[in-house]
Amino acid sequence: MTVDNTIPTPTGSATPSGSAASAGGGAGGPMSTSSTATRVLGTISLVGIAALVLFGLVLSPPDAKLGETVRILYMHVPTVSTAYLAFVITAVASVMYLWKRTEFWDLLAASSAEIGVLFFALTILNGMLWGKITWGVFWRWEPRLTTTAVLMLTYIGYLAVRQIPNDTRTRGTVSAVIGIMAIINIPITHKAVDWWRGLHQERTIFGTVNPEMRGLQLFSAYLGLTVFMVLFAWLLIHRFRVAWLTERAADVGVDAAIAERRAERPSGAVTTPAEGGAS
């Protein structure tokens, strides 16, 4: 699952040369982001999702209290947990970027955040579905949904910053700062929202995996978690590689640009190293 991080020496050609830029397990050239690792992960994900559908929707029994709607937990809990994992990765990568200043950490942070926002969106969507079925309305100010909505907006801000054209260093530093500021806010926001909604006796409907679950229900829940983690890893690798290749493509011109820049001098001038004068 490691990505080959060496930067191909720009040879001035328009496309990155094949040998240096291959990513990971030695499969296809630099024009694709897939490799043995991602093919394995992808297959597991798809098989896993099929299995989850089978167990979650068909094989496992409905809950004594929640009825059929418990099934949404098999997706809802994994998506929100994976999103949190994604943002923790973003935060750690942000710290590492500020320390080491290598592009790897910057791209990892950004890719992870993107997928995290995606999973947050999924969480809210299936939360709304659950709400429509259970409460009859798409939205209630239930602690988990509310917190997720606020946090999602926070990270959309992060993504917005990445879109602004800027040089890589500025963008990297600013994003890293935001990534760190945002993660610390997660527990504080949770506490604040929980207390706030707690005043109105709104229990959180979506808890973590309910310990009363047994047998196939428990199995489906953990299956869900596993499947979504694998899915996350798969998406992350692809997204990271896309970002990395984008940077490489932009890089290719640098040596050529340096040569062009030096050629700006009027022809006939002499290039002498700094020796003259009174030094």
Residues that bind other proteins in the complex, under the rule CB under 8 A: 98, 150-151, 153-154, 156-157, 160-161, 164-170, 172-174, 176-178, 180-182, 184-185, 188-189, 191-193, 195-196, 199, 250-251, 253-254, 257-258, 261-266, 269-279
**Smallest separation (angstroms) from other proteins to the CB of 255:** 9
Long-range contacts of 137-141 (CB under 8 A, 24+ apart): 140/202, 141/197, 141/202
Instruction: Provide, rounded to whole angstroms, the least separation between the CB of residue 256 and other proteins.
Output: 10
Among 217, 175, 177, residue whose Cα is nearest residue 69:
217
Q: How far is the CB of 270 from other proteins (least distance, A)?
A: 6
* CB-nearer residue toward other proteins: 134 or 166: 166
Cβ proximity to other proteins: between 61 and 253 the closer is 253
Q: Which is nearer to other proteins, 50 or 254 (CB)?
A: 254
The whole-angstrom separation of Cα 48 and Cα 176 is 33
Burial class (CB in 10 A: 0-12, 13-18, 19+), 109: buried
If the CB atoms of residues 59 and 258 are measured against other proteins, the closer one turns out to be: 258
CA distance 147 to 165: 30
The distance of closest approach from Cβ of residue 83 to other proteins in the complex, given in angstroms and rounded to an integer, is 15
Structure tokens at 218: 């428990």
Query: Whole-number minimum distance, CB 195 to other proteins, in Å?
Result: 7
Q: How far is the CB of 112 from other proteins (least distance, A)?
A: 19
Q: Which is nearer to other proteins, 76 or 162 (CB)?
A: 162
Within 8 A by CB and 6+ apart from 237, the residues are 1, 3, 24, 33, 37, 38, 41
Choice between 137 and 278, CB closer to other proteins = 278
Classify the phi-psi angles of 209: left when phi > 0, otherwise alpha if psi is within -120 to 50, otherwise beta: beta
